[in-house]
Structure 1
């Protein structure tokens, strides 16, 4: 009789070693801490960059055994095995890492299958600062360090408040359009990005009533006429003046735009512990605009 394939053996071992001892985390709501008290996770696979960063900010980077393809901070995670992303996570490679916890977003397609295979799954999403705070503590509890997440958030919050004091007075209350996905969406007041803008003292032209990250065409920004545009400077992106009507927009005409390239744009759009870096990037953008425009004050 032929021996079973390696994957089948691995799954069998996982069932024997983890089914009884390792309860499965609930994944039915974003940012909800585990409802049980399992042993602290020691071998962790992260399928979301912001969760990778959260784990490392909690001084537990050494517990990572595999990560998604987009996790790139801190530098110490770079050599780790890559197991795919939101839409194409590789179950066999995840199993091969022998994790006792998998961190991912609720919408990850492999979440249910991993639970069926007996793995602990902690599904966390973040659209607001409050979600991020809960996520930090949920991860802290999962690694056996209750309270560490709250402490991390307190430090992050204090840095944000200090940066708020650095916003130049002539920028306070100015209206911002923060573009996403190459121009087909934006961050609204209801998003964590919108909250960061508000925390600094800026205003978002996209109302919370449209949802956190509404799909919007270039005509919305044209009608909103913001004081500042923040966009992703992706490879091959055409000049902003090339968009329909944007050549006449005051922000474009007067050079009040910030085209931010990767990896700095990633810092702005990840709901993780580098919120202060995101705020610093926005302040740097404002300073650059002031240097490049006449009558910045």
Structure 2
């Protein structure tokens, strides 16, 4: 009789158990079953979802969701400033992965009123990425893939941490854009990468996450190296600093670019951007040697 009861219990259990995870806003997100139709509202979130094993579940994504290559085929539903709400609703998502401080709050409020679960994502430190992957894996029902990706990332982070621990400090100016000239403070994850490599962000103390600065303030800070977040379309944005021979970074020819999609996005590839950055800072250290 006991065996019969146990057998009957198997058939009355739901096909999928509820899943839950806590997001970066501290909210517990619970789904009746693993997410099957996900919309990503930030490029870094798209990368995290793919790493967590949820690429096939993404039915919509914002502009610039360009990695991995398969992301190019995902339908676009706007950008971080303006979302196509009608398109989002038509796609019938069971989960939205949202950039905590990057998406339009008014539009997010409208989506939330419709009862669509929102998972807020904004890793602040390099060490936050593995947990971001595994939490999304929990909501996707792809825990094994997510844990493997998280472990691979942790190993890369541990190797970099061991190698660059105790390195001589190097003053860094991280140039996000040159017209207008602006940078990032210590609250941004790119500054955590600078710290990992033994760098000191010369504007890390400023209160705004992405503050505007001017050439005079950069000259006064006199960084040892200038790193520009760049891509193939922005190969000349460091040229302006060659006009200032008294600037340490210019005088020692320590002007470098790092792929901005690697270093500025809070996704799993940031560890590769950090590795590139660390190499550049090592070159700047060697240039300081008499």
2:48 corresponds in structure 1 to: 54
2:228 corresponds in structure 1 to: 231
Asked if 1:69 is matched to 2:63, the reply is: yes
SS at match of 1:273: coil
Of 264-273 and 89-98, the range deviating more from structure 2: 89-98
Distance verdict in 2 for CA 1:258–1:162, change over 3 Å: same
User: How big is the shift at 1:133?
Assistant: 4.8
| CA root-mean-square deviation | 3.5
Q: Distance in 2 between matches of 1:148 and 1:103?
A: 18
SS at match of 2:35: coil
1:81 corresponds in structure 2 to: 75
1:282 corresponds in structure 2 to: 277
1:177 corresponds in structure 2 to: 173
Distance verdict in 2 for CA 1:37–1:222, change over 3 Å: same
Distance verdict in 2 for CA 1:237–1:273, change over 3 Å: closer
Gapped regions of structure 1 (runs ≥ 5): 1-22
When normalised by structure 1's length, the TM-score is: 0.75
When the two structures are aligned, how many residues end up with a matched partner? 267
User: How big is the shift at 1:294?
Assistant: 6.9
When normalised by structure 2's length, the TM-score is: 0.77
Gapped regions of structure 2 (runs ≥ 5): 1-17
Distance verdict in 2 for CA 1:148–1:219, change over 3 Å: farther
**Which of 112, 127, 146 matches 1:115?**
112
1:269 corresponds in structure 2 to: 264
Distance verdict in 2 for CA 1:273–1:238, change over 3 Å: closer
User: How big is the shift at 1:137?
Assistant: 3.9
SS at match of 1:41: coil
Within 5 A, what are the aligned runs for 1:152-167?
Answer: 152-166=149-163
Work out whether residues 188 and 208 of structure 1, in 8 Å CA contact, stay in contact via their aligned partners in 2. Answer: yes
Work out whether residues 31 and 135 of structure 1, in 8 Å CA contact, stay in contact via their aligned partners in 2. Answer: no
**Which of 86, 94, 117 matches 1:92?**
86
